[in-house]
Amino acid sequence: MSWYYLRMENEEMLAREDEIAKAMQSLGLAALGSGAAIYVHFDSHDGRHHYYFSPKAEPVALMFGARAWNKPAREAIGSFAVGDPSLFQSLYP
């Protein structure tokens, strides 16, 4: 199963971040134990937000045009945004 990646400009992120969270909730992927999560990293050098969707968040990733990606390194994944908060510990023990 593949991870997914989406890069957004700051203005676009402000408009779409709430849509992403609502999509996760409506699909039942925002719960503890769902195995689905989205992480976001803000790059201050380019002013862009980098979203990483876990494999089980694939339906939401595809809804927003994310592309298949390798599992991000622990240092690159950024902060937890929405989904299963327990997933990080199992991915990066």
Which positions ≥6 away from 14 have C-beta within 8 Å? none
Q: Which residue has the higher pLDDT, 48 or 70?
A: 70
Percent of the chain with pLDDT over 90: 42
- Write down the pLDDT at residue 73: 94
Q: How far apart are CA 91 and CA 83, in angstroms?
A: 14
Domain containing 13 equals 3-91
| Rounded average pLDDT over 52-62 | 93
Query: Which CATH number characterizes residue 16's domain?
Result: 3.30.70
Q: Hey, what are 82's tokens?
A: 């929405």
- Please answer whether residues 69 and 18 qualify as being in contact, where contact means their C-beta atoms are separated by less than 8 angstroms: no
Confidence bin at 50 (pLDDT 50/70/90): very high
Residues 78 and 71: their CA atoms lie apart, in Å, by: 13
Average pLDDT over residues 66-72: 96
pTM for the whole thing? 0.86
Number of domains, the chain: 1
How many Å apart are CA 22 and CA 27, to the nearest integer?
9
Q: Confidence band (pLDDT; 50, 70, 90) for 55? A: very high
Q: How many whole angstroms from its chain centre is CA 82?
A: 7
- pLDDT given at position 20: 81
What integer pLDDT is reported at residue 27 of this predicted model? Answer: 78
> Cα(43)–Cα(30) distance, rounded to whole angstroms?
25
